């Protein structure tokens, strides 16, 4: 999406901002009291056991999560420079609450990984990346977006893992509104995003021109009304067909 001049200025300003918490002091797997954990799994179409299949479910889902357009654009959309590598990329997120209030916040992508992990004696191929919140964000924390394939069974899953807590807000109205709606809006967003990932992966497996099928389906797979002309749907269609 081509951002407006005002949005471009906000995006450019992120380069001068720092992460608004100390990642080294936070145990992401066992955070202390006061931190919220979201740990969600969504099953995707399975594959035969073994390494990911070319053009299969895991590979399509990996393409989908690279650009963040898979996220429900009626609630959250991202602006960034697509010419910059994913690792280290600054992203300006537009948060839309109840389709009425819009807040712009910044995040920075950290590590991008493609690795084999062992969990309880089972091995899984995992592609993922995370972003961390920057100064001025309404939250503090980290969110990981991942695609897993269990090599013994062929199961493929979309995984979201986030550790967060509210950040101090200078605007009392923003802080109060965010605290009141945070849990509800987060649940609606993550539920919608999981449904979108499942639907788009299934569409991507249906032969030729998967991008066009995804683009057409995307407006009907948002939590709130979304125009079919929204550039987010067009970009998503492109991403499902390319790395």
Number of other residues whose CB lies within 10 A of the CB of residue 44: 26
CA proximity to 132, closest of 124, 122, 123, 144: 144
Domain boundaries, the chain: 5-239
How does DSSP assign 116-150, residue by residue? Answer: EEEETTEEEEEEEEEEEEBTT-SEEEEEEEEEEEE
Decide: 210 and 240 in contact? Cβ < 8 Å: yes
On the 0-12 / 13-18 / 19+ scale of CB atoms within 10 A, 172 is: exposed
pLDDT for 53: 96
pLDDT one digit per residue (tens) for the chain, 243 residues: 567 889 999 999 999 999 999 999 999 999 999 999 999 999 999 999 999 999 999 999 999 998 887 888 888 989 999 899 999 999 999 988 755 667 899 999 999 999 999 999 999 999 999 999 999 888 999 999 999 999 999 999 999 999 999 888 666 655 555 555 567 788 889 999 999 999 999 999 987 777 788 888 888 888 888 777 777 777 776 767 766
**pLDDT value, residue 107:** 97
Fold of 5-239: Alpha-D-Glucose-1,6-Bisphosphate; Chain A, domain 4 (3.30.530)
Q: Give the number of residues written for the chain.
A: 243
Write the DSSP symbol of residue 4. Answer: -
Predicted TM-score (pTM) of this structure: 0.90
């Amino acid at each position: 999406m081509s951002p407006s001049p005002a949005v471009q200025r906000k995006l450019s300003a992120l380069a001068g901002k720092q992460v608004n918490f100390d990642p080294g002091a936070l145990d992401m797997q066992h955070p202390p009291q006061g931190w919220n954990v979201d740990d969600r799994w969504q099953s995707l179409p399975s594959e035969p056991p073994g390494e990911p299949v070319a053009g299969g479910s895991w590979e399509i889902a990996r393409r989908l999560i690279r650009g963040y357009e898979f996220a429900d654009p009626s609630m959250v959309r991202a602006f960034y420079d697509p010419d910059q590598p994913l690792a280290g990329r600054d992203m300006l997120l537009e948060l839309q609450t109840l389709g009425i209030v819009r807040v712009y916040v910044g995040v920075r992508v950290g590590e991008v990984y493609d690795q084999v992990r062992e969990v309880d004696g089972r091995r899984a191929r995992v592609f993922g990346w995370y972003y961390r919140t920057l100064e001025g964000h309404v939250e503090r924390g980290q969110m990981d977006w991942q695609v897993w394939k269990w090599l013994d069974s062929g199961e493929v899953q979309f995984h979201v893992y986030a550790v967060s807590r509210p950040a101090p807000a200078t605007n009392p109205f923003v802080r109060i509104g965010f605290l009141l709606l945070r849990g509800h809006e987060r649940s609606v967003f993550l539920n919608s995003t999981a449904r979108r990932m499942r639907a788009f992966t299934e569409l991507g497996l249906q032969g030729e021109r998967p991008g066009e099928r995804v683009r057409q389906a995307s407006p009907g797979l948002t939590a709130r009304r979304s125009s079919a002309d929204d550039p987010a749907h067009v970009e998503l269609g492109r991403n499902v067909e390319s790395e």
